[in-house]
Amino acid sequence: GAGVSQTPSNKVTEKGKYVELRCDPISGHTALYWYRQSLGQGPEFLIYFQGTGAADDSGLPNDRFFAVRPEGSVSTLKIQRTERGDSAVYLCASTNGGGATEAFFGQGTRLTVV
Amino acid sequence: SQQGEEDPQALSIQEGENATMNCSYKTSINNLQWYRQNSGRGLVHLILIRSNEREKHSGRLRVTLDTSKKSSSLLITASRAADTASYFCATDAGTALIFGKGTTLSVSS
């Protein structure tokens, strides 16, 4: 695609439910990142994929959060037993994986847990 | 985790004035990047400066990097109302880009 696509753009879920957030990176980009951003804060790193594997998942806050990228393209961020504190904008970005390259961001998914 | 810290947190100026934002970071980096965000959604890349560079220009943007002080600055010259946005620095230490908390710039006409 022309850019990074994230779906849905908005998601409202009840506390305790399971949610999946999808990211379609730019075609051919090998690196993919997930970030979480709360109001008035900068993007907080969650996980980074190089190809199919998670190269760095040190930002995942706890074991309720999990992400996959089975074919090295589309990625899904999965959140189990959602809590109100999970409410935020979840941002996805991709790069071509080379050194010193810019990241292209999607428009994000605004998750609201009620 | 967040490594960069931008200063000031908020900046209000008049059109035509220059805006300067600063970023400090903690660990060694390969490069530092600046991003802009409108309305709290997607970020747009502005400029990248490598660790062996000291200054870089792109249009009305000027970025400096001082690795000895672990700091960078972003200067926007001749600001316009359309420059109103949040600006973030992001450090690349070889894995993920780590963002600061940002500077909110407001340019009034």
Q: Does the pLDDT of residue B93 top 90, yes or no?
A: no
- Residue of chain A with shortest Cα separation from B43: A105
Could you list the beta-strand ranges (E) of chain A.
Answer: 5-7, 10-13, 19-24, 31-37, 44-50, 53-56, 65-68, 75-79, 88-95, 104-105, 109-113
Q: How many CA atoms lie within 13 A of B79 on its CB side?
A: 22
Among A33, A101, A105, the residue with its CB nearest the CB of B42 is: A105
Q: How many residues does chain A have?
A: 114
Q: Does the pLDDT of residue B2 top 60, yes or no?
A: no
Q: What is the pLDDT of residue A98?
A: 61
Residues of A (11-30) whose Cβ lies below 8 Å from B: none
Residues whose CB is less than 8 angstroms from the CB of residue B89 and which lie 6 or more positions away in sequence, other chains included = B4, B6, B23, B25, B32, B33, B34, B35, B72, B74, B99, B100
Handedness of CA A49, A20, A66, B5 (dihedral sign): positive
Q: CB B96 to CB A103 under 8 A? A: no
Average pLDDT of chain B to the nearest whole number: 93
Pick from A26, A30, A37 the residue to mutate for testing the B interface (most B CBs within 10 Å).
A37
Q: Does the pLDDT of residue B36 top 70, yes or no?
A: yes
pLDDT tens-digit series, residues A1-51: 589 999 999 999 999 999 999 999 999 999 999 999 999 899 999 999 999
Q: CB A56 to CB B92 under 8 A? A: no
Cβ atoms A15, A85 nearer than 8 A: no
Q: CB B1 to CB A43 under 8 A? A: no
Please tell me if residue A5 touches chain B, with a CB cutoff of 8 Å: no
Q: How many residues does chain B have?
A: 109
Q: CB A100 to CB B30 under 8 A? A: yes
| Inter-CA distances, B108 with A51, B61, B77, B84, Å | 44, 19, 14, 8
Q: What is the pLDDT of residue B41?
A: 76
Q: Does the pLDDT of residue B1 top 60, yes or no?
A: no
Among A55, A56, A100, the residue with its CB nearest the CB of B48 is: A100
pLDDT tens-digit series, residues A48-68: 999 999 989 999 999 999 999
